[in-house]
Amino acid sequence: MEPMNCTADVRSDRCEVWVPTQFPEVVRDKAAEITGLEPEQVTVHTTYLGGGFGRRGWDFAIQAVQASKAVGRPVKLIWTREEDTQHDFYRPAYKSRLQVQLGEDGFPSSWNHQLAGPSAISEFAWQLMDTRAVGSALKWIDWDVTSTKGTQLPYAIPEHEMDYEVVEPGIRVGFWRSVGNSHNAFTVESVLDEAANLVGRDPLEYRLALLNDQPRHRTVLKRAAKEAGWGAELPEGHARGIALHESFKSIVAQVVEVSVDAGTVRVHKVHCAIDCGRYVNPNIIRQQLEGAVVFGLSAALYEQISLKDGAVA
């Protein structure tokens, strides 16, 4: 909820920047370019982020450095919330088409995932070519993980093919929390549900049967199901859904209980289990998961951006 902001102090022999950014090395190099200083003469103080989900880049830091250089004094820049919304890098929209062939046993024997949509990394990569972050940019571009991440399957499916086509909509897009995982996880798990339903299998048991070689995934999935009371009778009009996904080397499963009344979705319970490997503070993990649940529900049920004549309305 913190609007974009930055404090910059440009002097003849040095530059200091205080900024909540996810790209401090890029801020340093851009500040050096603007001021004519060497990167070693620029100090970037990365402050605590008031919510950092991919947007906190360097465009607003550039403005603060330019302003400080122009007036010869320290400058504190804060965007209004309206400016923040109207000058965002928006979440890319994607379309997926999946073709799944089921074997005689009812399980997928081949999986073809076709994905089309804008590339978030291409929006930023060219800006990184003259910075010390160029290595990261080239690595990201190689297979555009910001779009395709989450299409890799933990499930035992003999044939798996994935194709990605870049489609630019003419709208500035950027990184959005979890990048490709946010849409690919939904697609993959939804199709698995459809396959299980088609052959009359329980969604939990169907997944477990495809995870015989994945003990960590099985444990997480079974724990979430146990905590949610999977299989127990539900109140009339209620339904449960289950999903599993691995993202950034953490394995997460969720069971959600919902009802629909006159077209309005009500979420009653969300049970979540995670295997993130070794950890230090379990409270931080809990906060991350709770925040992710709220973030996902908000995106699925409420959030939207309206565009008119090429601008945010």
Domain chopping of the chain, boundaries:
5-84, 89-201, 202-313
CB 250 within 8 A of CB 259: no
CB 284 within 8 A of CB 276: no
pLDDT at 143: 61
Residues 6 or more apart in contact with residue 276 via CB below 8 angstroms: 249, 250, 251, 285
pLDDT at 50: 84
CB 91 within 8 A of CB 173: yes
Check residue 194 and give left, alpha or beta (phi > 0: left; psi -120 to 50: alpha).
alpha
pLDDT at 71: 98
d(CA 150, CA 287): 22
d(CA 79, CA 87): 10
Pairing mode, strands 42-46 and 75-78 = unpaired
Low-confidence ranges of the chain (pLDDT < 50): none
CATH architecture of 5-84: 2-Layer Sandwich (3.30)
Long-range contacts of 299-306 (CB under 8 A, 24+ apart): 299/91, 299/182, 301/265, 305/85, 305/88, 305/90
CB 207 within 8 A of CB 244: yes
pLDDT at 139: 59
d(CA 181, CA 184): 5
Paired tokens of 37:
């200083």
pLDDT at 133: 58
Q: Between the CA of residue 121 and those of 76, 143, 264, 304, what are the distances in Å?
A: 29, 10, 36, 22
Same fold, 5-84 and 202-313: yes
pLDDT at 95: 96
Fold of the domain spanning 89-201:
Aldehyde Oxidoreductase; domain 4 (3.30.365)
CATH 3.40.50.720 fits 202-313, yes or no: no
Residues 6 or more apart in contact with residue 162 via CB below 8 angstroms: 112, 113, 114, 115, 148, 151
pLDDT at 129: 65
Could you list the beta-strand ranges (E) of the chain: 5-10, 15-19, 42-46, 75-78, 95-102, 108-117, 159-166, 238-247, 250-261, 264-275, 307-308, 311-312
Which amino acid would we find at residue 54?
G
Query: CA 197, 198, 201, 206 torsion: positive or negative?
Result: negative
pLDDT at 243: 98
| Residue given tokens 């996902």 in the structure block | 296
DSSP-derived letter for residue 40 is G
pLDDT at 172: 86
Which amino acid would we find at residue 52?
G
